[in-house]
Amino acid sequence: MILALLAGIARADDAAADAPPAPPVDTPVDASPAGAALPEAESSAPSPVSSLFSGVHGSEELRIRYWHVPDKLTNFEDRNILDYVEVVNRLDLTGGSPNVGVGARVDGVGLFANRYILDGQLEHERELLGAGLASPFEDAYFGLEKAWVEVRSPAVTFTAGDAYLSFGRGIALNTVKNTDIDVDTSLRGARGVGHFGAWDVTIASGLTNPQQVALENPNLSLQPDVAHAVSGLRLDRYGLGAVNLGAHGVIFQYSRGYEEGKDGWRAYGQPVDAWVAGGSVEALGVKGLDLYFEGDGFGYTAEEIPVKAGYALYGSLAAYPGRASILVEGRRNKDTEWANTFSDNYELVSGPTLEYERVITEDSSAAVNSNDITGGRARIDLRFGNPEKHVTLVPYASVAVFRDEDLSGLHFNRAGETILHPIAGVQYIHEELHVLATAGQRVDVRDPMDDGTALGADRLLHADLDISVPLGGNLSLELAPSLMRYQWGVNPQQQTDFTDFSNTLALKVGAPWAFLIYTDYSDNPLIQSTGNLEGTLFGDAGEFLYGAAEVQWMPNSSTTLKAFYGAYRAGIRCAGGQCRQLPGFEGAKMSLTTTF
Amino acid sequence: MRALWLPLALVASLVIGTAQAAGKPAPDFSLRDLTNQAQTLAQHKGKVVLINFWATWCGPCQVEMPHLQAMAKELGPKGLVVLGISADAARDASKVKPLVVSKGLTYPILLDPQTTVVAQYNPTKTLPFNVLVDRAGNIDQVFSGYNPGDEVKLRAAIEKLLAVAAP
């Protein structure tokens, strides 16, 4: 299959080489006022099929991981028979002509040394495939993960296959790729985007298509997708002076799993389980201010969801006085997260959280997904220096305040809480020197219980730094330490204060080579991975130390080869309004990423 | 089968890794900028265009952007156009302009809330990601990621293209 695709690329290269260069077009930059109709991408006469793939490009990502598992199997304490090797390959291809675009992603994963057989008897195995997922190979799986065809006309862009969709600020619908946490959920169906004068229309319907194969995380017991039907419409009206208006509606028909007979396309045949309807108003440059407001109503008819309605409000105000950029945002969410009840490891709706997601804890992840939260955040950045003279200095500060009343789900809190999170930081860039520093403290103050029991407050102190210093010649050194100190109030699930620390030290030798050393430390008693250094270099009982080294080679601007050996810790990671518990790792990894 | 698949994947990766993007037409697109005015790639044909994919949450992107601003200012009169395309999801759209202003960036920043252009040019969503388009509208090179000093290579590649007269 890969060779066939390569043959296709080779043909495409030939076609591109034969194609004459396009004539120059001296078209001035569009100077139409805000609200003017969106001009179409340059259109031309329909291309012959032979030139359809004249612009094929894409990327190839290969990961080979040797998983060392420190645990020993009983009676096999002298052997690492739980270790195994995982190979993941992802090939993305896109191409097309001015009028037609096509794209595909082919994923493959295979396990090696995942069985231990002694004297003809199976002692241990790791299964790649879970129940219900078919593959002709026992320990390998290939899938056409994404595929799409896009047809562009002067007024309409129509996509059949996989597409991403986001309405308003993502509150009503937000199916996106989130590379930070290895989540990639598209909508497999049809999407049309039309530009009619000052109107934009987006209409789509399809089945959720989460990625089957994880690129950066272990692939074990892969399950079939549970595809939910999602249909939506968004209208945007531009050109009302400085004001733009938008309105949208989305309906969800959830699959309950294959045994219910409502999976896949059959989900369309069942009643609507949930809906969202809302509108937005945006005003840009009104007396130097940019304003945005959105309101959404949620309705639920699915019997598994315990409420019938919810709503979300979001607003932002930006101002730019003098050297300052000021952004103030506010939100109110009441019973909106129920729309994500049936999605696993991804979210169908995900509006702005106003959180500093990089340091989100187990508890604050619940605040991200709260069904009853009100809050806001204000941030001010000050601009100094001049990037055109290669000096940029931007100090900034922000403060977020939330009131979280949700006590269900993943929440630790047994009473309402008020969250205060001030942060300050600075960015300094001068030629090849850069310093990025951020520090803050989040305090979750719990209300007392109804019986008067005090619950105290949870505190998180965090600081992170990224500094890169040129050492002369073609050498540069980068240091990126990060510290988080947790102090807990009265919390039945986590009573011990602890510290997490990590650091990356990178020595870069010109463009092609970089040598990195990673260190992790944690004394979290509930951590879900053990370190590879404790008891060897330093560290006491209850302290977990991790170390790793990596070599990177970049032979050209589009290719990176990495070799990694060592360990890093498990932990929760939040990005894009979603949080995942990511596993730790110990072993060796090789990765190749290239674009073409 | 597995034993065959591993070397096949390796060979495929290495072969693809040697493939060059040079000469392939850059797909056109239409996106709105921060004032809702429209920008297409085609309207810049005849100039050298650097398409920079970035996001508000991407640290290396923010380190790279002042260098791009300097290039836009210094090389703009010679025919360079820098187009920044925000890969932020719609939920982060309110953050984009304040960040751009705080960095003193003056080159056009475009929003791609449905990720139509990101999906086409940068399907892995690696950030930052730069696509250098020559005066004829063909992709000359792509640059994935950013490390201090990469701007020197990028600038050299741009100046090489600027030295070529428009066809």
Domain spanning B21-162: CATH 3.40.50.300: no
Q: Order the strands of the B80-86 sheet from edge to edge.
A: B24-25, B138-144, B129-133, B48-54, B80-86, B109-111, B30-33, B38-40
Closest C-alpha among A101, A185, A182, A103 to residue A144: A103
pLDDT-based confidence at A250, cuts 50/70/90?
very high
Query: Between chains, do A92 and B39 touch, taking CB under 8 Å as contact?
Result: no
**Interface with A, mutate which of B61, B88, B94 (most A CBs under 10 A):** B94
pLDDT at B1 exceeding the cut of 60: no
Nearest residue in chain A measured CA to CA from B99: A325
Please list every residue in chain B whose beta carbon sits closer than 8 Å to the beta carbon of residue A292: 93-94
**Interface with B, mutate which of A25, A53, A57, A427 (most B CBs under 10 A):** A57
pLDDT at B153 exceeding the cut of 50: yes
Nearest to A26 among B39, B46, B103 (CB): B46
pLDDT at B9 exceeding the cut of 80: no
Distance from CA of B163 to the nearest CA of A (A): 16
Sign of CA dihedral A354, A357, A361, A366: positive
Residue ranges of the domains in chain A? Answer: 1-18+48-144, 153-352, 496-596
pLDDT at A50 exceeding the cut of 80: no
A57 interfaces chain B, CB cutoff of 8 Å:
yes
* Residue A66 near residue A588, CB atoms below 8 Å: yes
Lowest mean pLDDT among A56-70, A157-171, A250-264, B119-133: A250-264
SS3 sequence of A396-434: EEEEEEEEECCCCCCCCCCCCEEEEEEEEEEEEEECCEE
> What 3-state class would DSSP assign to B77?
helix
Kindly state the average pLDDT of the residues A565-585: 75
- Which of A133-142, A307-316, A465-474 is predicted most confidently? A307-316
pLDDT of A174 reads 92
* Residue A518 near residue A566, CB atoms below 8 Å: yes
DSSP state for residue A222 in the 8-state scheme:
B
* Residue A580 near residue A572, CB atoms below 8 Å: yes
Please list every residue in chain B whose beta carbon sits closer than 8 Å to the beta carbon of residue A179: 124-126
Please list every residue in chain A whose beta carbon sits closer than 8 Å to the beta carbon of residue B153: 511, 557
Query: Between chains, do A27 and B45 touch, taking CB under 8 Å as contact?
Result: yes
pLDDT at A202 exceeding the cut of 60: yes
- Which of A108-117, A252-261, A265-274, B109-118 is predicted most confidently? A108-117
Please list every residue in chain A whose beta carbon sits closer than 8 Å to the beta carbon of residue B92: 352
pLDDT, one tens digit per residue, over A11-40 is: 333 333 333 333 322 222 222 333 333 333
Mean pLDDT of chain B: 84
Nearest to B104 among A318, A387, A434 (CB): A387
pLDDT at A283 exceeding the cut of 70: yes
pLDDT, one tens digit per residue, over A318-349 is: 999 999 999 999 999 999 999 998 887 788 99
Nearest to A59 among B6, B41, B123 (CB): B123
Kindly give the residue spans of alpha helices, DSSP state H, lying in B104-166. 116-121, 150-162
Phi, psi angles (nearest 5°) of residue A224: -65, 155
Domain A153-352: assigned CATH number? 2.40.160
Nearest residue in chain B measured CA to CA from A100: B27
pLDDT of B90 reads 87
Residue ranges of the domains in chain B? Answer: 21-162
pLDDT at A173 exceeding the cut of 80: yes
Closest C-alpha among A438, A506, A504, A426 to residue A471: A506
Helix (H) or strand (E) holding A14: helix A2-18
Query: Between chains, do B37 and A36 touch, taking CB under 8 Å as contact?
Result: yes
pLDDT-based confidence at A45, cuts 50/70/90?
very low
Higher pLDDT: B18 or A113? It is: A113
Please list every residue in chain A whose beta carbon sits closer than 8 Å to the beta carbon of residue B55: none
